[in-house]
Amino acid sequence: MLTLTNPAANMLTDVRSQQGIPDDALLRVAGATDGQEGISLGFVDAPMEGDQTADAHGLGFCVAPEVADALAGAKIDVQDPETDSNGPGNLIIVPAD
């Protein structure tokens, strides 16, 4: 199953808090909703039917069935920002070994 690194979980927990989303909201990883290939991330009150659920470093998350197999063994991590950026970095998917 997909996992999250500690830095990624911390970043997402901060985003959830900054957006005023309740602490018990789950991160949901699903297929892109704009007709493009890829994944989408969002916070939900509860997993949807068929979602895989887990907890990573205190952040509950769920993975939609349409992306679960493709993301099995992968992890969401934080890529260090470029040296000229003051931002917190970007979330990236690190494929399974």
Q: Residue 5 pLDDT more than 70?
A: yes
Q: Residue 13 pLDDT more than 80?
A: yes
Please report the pLDDT score of residue 81 as a whole number.
61
pLDDT tens-digit map of 34-68? 777 889 999 999 999 999 999 999 999 999 999 99
Asked whether the beta carbons of 74 and 67 are under 8 A apart, the reply is: no
Distance in angstroms (rounded) separating the CA atoms of residues 40 and 47? 15
Q: Residue 94 pLDDT more than 60?
A: yes
Please report the pLDDT score of residue 43 as a whole number.
97
Q: Hey, which bits of the chain come out as E strands? A: 3-4, 26-31, 39-44, 52-56, 59-63, 75-79, 90-94
Which residue ranges form the domains of the chain, and what is each CATH number?
Answer: 3-94 (2.60.300.12)
